Amino acid sequence: MSNRTGCLITFEGPEGSGKSTLIKSIASVLLDIGAEIIEVREPGGTPVGEKIRDVLLDKELPELCAKTELLLMVASRAQLVQETLQPALAGGKIILCDRYAESSEAYQGGGRELGTAKVREMNSYAIGDVIPDVTFLCMVPPEIGRQRTSSRELDRMELESIAFHDRVYKAYCDMADSGEKRFVVIDASKTPEEMMSSAFEHLKKMEHQLLKLL
């Protein structure tokens, strides 16, 4: 985006990785320093996307096939990019996005075994050049994540098999080991305070003008 003055920060990780808590903590600090932020989630983030989310996470729809799941995810993402992300980035806002393109690589590419290449092709069509400035990979082994989510009502994805979640975790591990500079690994087995400290340590080093006050 040639007119992009905003900053896109995305958060990824397996179930129970503490992403939502980390986002709330970062949002609170950014608001305190007067930053203009928006928080969005995937799937969802728009009226259209939220309806798609209801279908994707509905545990009463176990027959939803892997290809349909991927197409719905990409559809929600395309709507989010056009309706919300592009205008916000052009308007100089900081976006905190709970999951983005890498989630499909992990969940549909890895978990559903559709393969990374096909998912990346679909993602590329949906998001164009709206690439995150930084992506925090909140990493926690599936067995720990499942323990953390055991006390709440689980959605269709969370109810998937251990083997599925192991494949998702491996896909995220492959991202963490890829060497791509925008991926920053956060040890999600640590406390929320320690996770926030790690995230801000990186954000303070970024040269983006919207983060200079950190």
> What does the buried/exposed string (b/e) look like for 153-187 if buried means 16 or more CB atoms within 10 Å of the residue's CB?
eeebbbebeeebbbbbbebbbebbeeeeeebbbbe
Query: Could you tell me the pTM of the whole model?
Result: 0.95
Reported as a single tens digit per residue, the pLDDT across 83-114 is 999 999 999 999 999 999 999 999 999 999 99
Q: pLDDT digit of tens for each residue in the chain (214 aa)?
A: 667 899 999 999 999 999 999 999 999 999 999 999 999 999 999 999 999 999 999 999 988 999 999 999 999 999 999 999 999 999 999 999 999 999 999 999 999 999 999 999 999 999 999 999 999 999 999 889 888 887 788 899 999 999 999 999 999 999 999 999 999 999 999 999 999 999 999 999 998 888 887 8
Class of domain 7-205: alpha beta
